[in-house]
Structure 1
Amino acid sequence: MVSRAMRARYAQAVLGFLTYVSDADFSVHRISQLCEVASSWVEFLYADGQRKGLASDGLAGLQYFLPQCQGRLKLAWKLVKVWQRVEPPMRVLPLSPLLVLGMAGLAAGLGLPDIAAGLLICFDGILRSGELYQLRVADVTFYASRASLRLGLTKAGKRTGQEEMVVVNSRIAISWLRRACAHRSDDELLIRRGPDFFRKCFKLFVAEFGLSDANINVYSLRRGGATWDFMAYQSMERTLLRGRWASTSSARVYLQDAVATIAHLKLLPWQTALANRDFLVDTACVGRRNQNKVHLHRQPYDRKLAFQAAYGAEARFEKRPVPVWATQTSDFFDGAETQSVGVLQY
């Protein structure tokens, strides 16, 4: 089943292919001639510095809109595979639990419990970004020490026709998820202001930790959650089940590569201290006059004013008592050995 967004991508790529055919004055009268022209187009895209995804979308689009050419574009697909080998993908870096906790602390300090909850459950539940954005309050069910998220027909679920769900184990994530869902109607989206606002917040938090130049985006939450789940339990089957991958073989390669890239995200001492401070102070929402002041690279930085100036958010700092769980250990991986947040090193 091809989604509407994927059909739009196919149509745009095929339009680019047809434009190339017209500009190059190619004449295609038979399906057998299409492979040669498509191969020439792939070579043109490579030489022109275009992204290889455009070539894949174009060939897949031709097969979608013109089913007669399925299995007849072998040379063109072979060129795409060669392109993929010589130009491997730039995979995003996986986030560590400490960094996610620090980012959630920033969101909490800004009075954004839904953003804090979104960061935490996306990491702990190994959610895709689209699954998080579509999550509604009614999809969340709380139990004594767990919470379940009904994801509906996800990327893999559409192939099987079965709705999927995931269990959130982290006590910290569940606590903020309760706050995000409190006093809200069932049909409301968990992320109040939508995907764009969540991405803007994420970008701001990454910048505050001085990681804007790193290859990090919202998908780093899912990649980091899968990586640290595997490292905590040493169970590939458990992680694959929680991550809900359709292909076991590709997921194994994905995890092995993610574990190997952890070394590329080593936090400096000031970043580690900031993450600890933001989690222990902002997540606990301690009422201090200077709680919105942090120092990055020895320069004073007003988080609230910068956030409002950049994104026009109605951010506010709330004075609330320190919850009991904020003084306890951080247990993203329930049942695994835990350490005090103040001494976590990644």
Structure 2
Amino acid sequence: MVSDELLSMLSDDVRRKVELGELTDDERLKLVLEHLYWRNNLSSTQIASLLGVDDRLVRRMMERLGIKRRERVEALKLRLTKYSKRGFTGSLIERIRLHTLIAADAHVRRHHAQIEVTTSTPNPWLISEIHFMLKPYSDHFNLNPFYNRRTGQFSWRLSILLDQSFDFLLRPVEVDVADDGQFWSFTASLLEGEASIEVVPYRGLAQVKVRVYNDDRRLMTLLHRGLLMRGLLAKMRLEKPRTTEEGVKFSHVVEVMDPHARRLLGRIAPDLIHFEKLLRAKAALKASERPWSEVEPLLREVERVVEAGLAASKRMAAEALARRAGRAVIGA
């Protein structure tokens, strides 16, 4: 069975042939592999990633089905010249900002002579931020819609190819938490990656709570240490284990409450790029320690704006997927 995600990458003609069921399994497989390899210019490794199999298996299937492969020189030229890429030229602070965001909410791998950054999310502001940070260095920006069966929602899969000078993204983030410039750049990216900014009622007043979470204990330990060094009361704890497709995982959480949360947001809000996090930070700073009845309408409006943005992004993903598949969107 061919997945919806894979079908969305095929031309209308090829997709109809695959869906009609008049071909044998080998004929259908050959049609799909040929289209992805020659029409979409995907490598055998990229195809293997889509199918969830080893790339050696894809090459064996292509050989068995009689699918001609590119000459080595042609394949290398396609990989290196299809999109213009430029080496990293940013400062140490910019490097930490970028590296931490990618480490917090994306995946990195070496792709032949390039570095590939990928992430899957329905959040339009995270996609926009990653693109904003990386567009000075690469013309490659691949955004594909898909339906995430695990979460039950339409989403986007982002892929960006970078120059080999970005191989630092493959290594752990290095930051001197005693250095203000490095630490606050690091913290801003962690907040934009995986964090929540909440405003809750407490004894009739609005209280701010910031929670930053990540599976990487090392990142959370660095954050916790840096906050304590600056006199910000922060608690670090381990959340209950959760089961994912990759097995059981644990999230490490650093939590900061008012008045320390207000100080934290006041310091990093000017550096935030992620629209949702910036909007929530500004609203939290305005609401903190004020009567709940006064700030509740503002907080409801923030939620409305965020929910509308996410809903629009999911709707656009559903419509884009439907156009590729030639089907109407129903109840997206």
- Does TM, scored on the shorter chain, surpass 0.5? no
Q: Which has the higher helix share?
A: 1
Higher fraction of strand = 2
**TM superposition score normalised by structure 2:** 0.30
Give the TM-score normalised by structure 1: 0.29
